[in-house]
Amino acid sequence: MIVASVLTKRYGERVAVDRVSFTVRPGRVTGFLGPNGAGKSTTMRMIIGLDRPTEGSVTVDGIRYLDCPAPLRAVGALLEARALHPGRTAWAHLRWMAASNGIPASRVDEVLGLVGLEAVAGQRVGRFSLGMGQRLGIAAALLGDPPVVVLDEPVNGLDPEGIRWVRTLARDLAAEGRTVLVSSHLMAEMALTADHLVVIGRGRVLADLPTADFIAEHAASYVRVRTPQPGELAELLRRSGADVTREGDELRVQGVDAAATGELAAGAGLVLHELGLVRSSLEDAFMTLTAGSVEFAAARPAEVTR
C-alpha cells in the first residue's frame, strides 16, 4: 500500500505537487492520470525516494522508501528518465542492479524472459529501441519480486502489442495481490487498465474514484434525432418520460432509447432525417475534468482532436 499525505513538492516558486493525499491499495491497478506537467513523475519520484518532499510524506507499506533495507525488494519502479549505461548489455545492467540488492543472478534470466528480452540479453542497451528500453525498465522494476510496483508512463513508445502486454502485466501483478500504480496521460488506456483512478492536474488531486464510477458519471450518452417536426416529436417524447432539449430541427433525448424514439415517431407518422446514439468519450470527460489545469494547451485543441 502506498499512502501519500499532504505531499508537496516545490521547485523554487513553482509548486509541482500541491498537498496531494491518496492511498494506493493492493490487489488492484490504480491509474495515476493527468495532463503533461500535472506532477505525476514528481509524485512517483517522491514515492521511491528520488525526490524529497517539501512538505508532507509518502510511505510504502508503512515505511519511507529511504528506510527500506533492500529497496528493490520493496518497490519496483519504472521511471520516465532511466539512467542506463549505454555500453552495458541488458543482462549486465540487470545483474548489476540485482547484485546491489542481494538478488540472485537466476532472477535476471527470469525477468528477461518475463518481458520477452531473452534473445537480446547480450546486446548493448545503447542500441535498444524505445520499446525495448521500456521492457528493460519493466524487467528492472520486477527484479526484486516487489509487492509494490510503480510504473511511470510504461506504454510510452510501445506498439499496440506492447501496450496490450503492459496492460495484461499490470492486471496480472495486481491479481497476485500487489499494489500497482501506473501513470498515464491517456484516459482511454487507463479505462482499460485501471480499477481505480487518481486524477491530478497542476499538482492537485482532482478526482479519486473507481474507474467504473468515472465511466458511469462521465461517459454520458444521448439519442440524437433530426426531424422536420421537432415540436411534435419533442412533445411525444416528453409524454413518454424523456428529457428532451431542442436545437433547430435537432432533438437530444435522454431517458428513451433510439429504438423507442423511432417507434414513437413511426406511430405518430412523423418523419425522421436522422436517428442515432451519441456517446461522449472518456477522453472528452477527462479533458473537461482537467480543463482548468492543463499547462501546455495548444492554441485551439478542439480543432486538432476532431
Interaction between residue 36 and ligand ATP (CB under 6 A): yes
* Only segment of 11-19, 20-28, 95-103, 233-241 that touches ligand ATP (CB under 6 A): 11-19
42 binds, among Mg ion, ligand ATP, none (CB under 5 to 8 A by kind): ligand ATP
Q: Is 162 in the site for ligand ATP (CB under 6 A)?
A: no
Which positions from 25 to 64 touch Mg ion by CB under 5 A, shown as an x/- string? Answer: ---------------xx-----------------------
Nearest residue (CB) to ligand ATP, 42 versus 134: 42
Q: How far is the CB of 16 from Mg ion (least distance, A)?
A: 10
Q: Does 41 bind ligand ATP (CB under 6 A)?
A: yes
Distance of CA 93 to the CA centre of its chain: 28
- Cell 473507481 identifies what position? 210
Q: How far is the CB of 200 from Mg ion (least distance, A)?
A: 11
CA distance 132 to 113: 13
- In whole angstroms, the minimum distance from the beta carbon of 44 to Mg ion comes to 8
Q: Do 90 and 116 form a contact (C-beta atoms < 8 A)?
A: no
Shortest Å, Cβ 139 to ligand ATP: 22
Verify binding: residue 37, ligand ATP, rule CB under 6 A. yes
Q: Does 57 bind ligand ATP (CB under 6 A)?
A: no
**Three cell numbers, residue 52:** 524529497
**210 - beta bridge partners?**
196
Supply 186's cell numbers.
491517456
User: Least distance to Mg ion from the beta carbon of 32, Å?
Assistant: 10
Choose which of 28, 135, 167, 185 interacts with ligand ATP (CB under 6 A): 185
| Binding-site ranges for Mg ion (CB under 5 A) | 40-41, 80
